[in-house]
Structure 1
C-alpha cells in the first residue's frame, strides 16, 4: 500500500511540476503560484470535508509549518525552472528532497529490510544519475552580474534549495500524524498560501515586477491542473508516510523527476542523455526491490 501511494504521489508531482514549469516559462513563478496554490487549497479543503476528521491545533500547526517550507520550495523551484533546463532542475531538487527524510528516518531508528534498503539506495542513485547535467557548454538564462550572485541564482543551486525545503516538508508532514483526517494537508496548503501572499506583498512594497500575467485559456487551465495535481500528490504522500516509514515513502515519492523528464523530452525535445536513461533503469530496479521486499 505504501509503495502504491508513494509512487502515485510521484506520478502526480511529476505531471504537476511539468505543467507548472510550462506556465512559468511564459510567465513567472509567483504569477503561476498565484493560480496554483489557491486551487490546490480548494481541492484539499473539499477532500478534508468529504473524508471527515477533526481540526486539531497540533497537527494543523505541523501542517502549516510544513506548508511554509513547501511554499518556499515551490517559489525557488519555479525560479530554478526559469533558470535551467527542466530535465536538470527537477531531478536535482528531488535528490535534495529525498536525502533529508532518509537521514531523519534513520536517525529516528527506522530500519529497512535488506532488499528494501537496497531498493531505496538504488532509487537515490537513480535520482542522482537522472540529475546529471550535460557538460557540453549548454547554458541556461540566468541573472546578469558575476560571482556569487550569478551562482546563487543559477538553476542547479536554486533547485538544491528548493529540494531542501521539500525535504523539510516531507519530514514535517510525518510529524503531523494521521489522527485528524486530511486537515494537516489543509494546514499545509494554508502555509503555501501564506508564503505566496507574503511574496506578492513584498514585490508590491518593493515595486518589483511580477512579470507577465498568466493569461489565455490554455495557460490558465494548465495552472489550475498543476495546482490540483500538486494538492492531490500532497494527499497521496500524506497517506503513504502515515502508513509506512518516512525514509521509504519520501524516496519513492521523490522519483517524480522521471515523469517530468519524460514529459519534457516529449514536449520540448530536451535531450535525454545516456546516463539519464541508465538512471531511469536503475529507478525501475529500485522500485522493484522495494515492492518485492
Structure 2
C-alpha cells in the first residue's frame, strides 16, 4: 500500500511539473526551460541528500548517470518527434512505450503480481493511451515520427529501469548522478546548436517550479520502487498525464475530450485495482 501511495503521489507531482513546464515553454525556448529546470532539480536533490538516509555508492551513481542520459535522450527525441509528427500519434506512442518497458522488465526479473494487480496494469496502460490522445491534429503520422516516438518512450522507460537497478542503501545518490548526466547532455546540445539558455522575462519562477516538482516526483518514484514491484509502480507513475489534463482544465479552462475523460476514469480504476491486490 505504501508503494501505491508513493507512486500515485509521484504521478500527481510529475503531472503538475509538466503543467508548469508547459506554461514555461509558452514564454521561453524549450532548451532553456529544460536546462534551467534541470539545474533547479539538481539544487533540490543536493539539499535532500544529507536529509534522507543513504550512503554514497559508486555503482548506484553509475546507474543514475545512465538513467539521466536515457531520460534526457528520451526528452530530446520526444520533442523531435513532435516536430515531425502529430501529438495524437506521438504522445500515446511515447507514453505507452515508457510504461510498458518497465512492466516487461519487472516481469522478466521474476516479479509476479496478483491477478487483480495485473488487471490494474492492463487498465493503467489503456488509461495512458486514452489520456494522451489529442484530437487537435490529424490521426496519422509519418513512419519516422512514430519510430522516433517509440525511441523516446524507450528512453523514458529506460530511466525508470536504470534507477531501479541501484541499491536501496544508496539513498538519493542515483538521482544526483542522473541529474548531473542529463544536465551535461543538455548543455552540450545547447553548445552544439548555439542556442541561448536565457529565459524570457518573468518565466524563471515557473521554470524553477517545474524543475523542483520534477525532482520531487523522481524522489517519490525512487522511494515507491523500493517499496513495491517495478511492474506495478511504473504503471502508476505513468498515469501522470491525468493530473496535467485536470490542471489545464481547472487553471486554463482547456476542454477535455470524452476519450480523455474515459482515460482518467480508467486511471482511477487502475489505482484502485493495484491498491487492493
Aligned mate of 1:175, from 165, 168, 178: 165
The CA deviation at 1:14 is 0.5
**Aligned residue for 2:259?**
275
Aligned mate of 1:189, from 161, 179, 182: 179
Contact 1:24 1:78 in 2 (8 A): no
Contact 1:54 1:180 in 2 (8 A): yes
**Aligned residue for 1:124?**
125
Verify: 1:165 aligned to 2:149, yes or no: no
Change (3 A) 1:211 1:127: same
Change (3 A) 1:46 1:114: same
Q: How does 1:193-232 map to 2 (within 5 A)?
A: 193-204=183-194, 210=195, 213-217=198-202, 219-232=203-216
1:123-152 CA distance string (max 9 Å, x none): 11111122234287499xxxxxxx96xx64
CA distance in 2, matches of 1:18, 1:75: 18
Q: Which runs of 5+ in 2 are unaligned?
A: none
**Aligned residue for 2:73?**
72
For residue 31 of structure 1, give the secondary structure of its aligned residue in structure 2: helix
**Aligned residue for 1:142?**
none
Contact 1:23 1:32 in 2 (8 A): yes
Contact 1:90 1:260 in 2 (8 A): no
Cα RMSD of the aligned pairs, angstroms, is 2.6
For residue 242 of structure 1, give the secondary structure of its aligned residue in structure 2: helix
The CA deviation at 1:25 is 2.6
The CA deviation at 1:28 is 2.3
Contact 2:89 2:139 in 1 (8 A): no
Aligned mate of 2:237, from 233, 253, 269: 253
Task: Report the count of equivalent residues.
Answer: 276
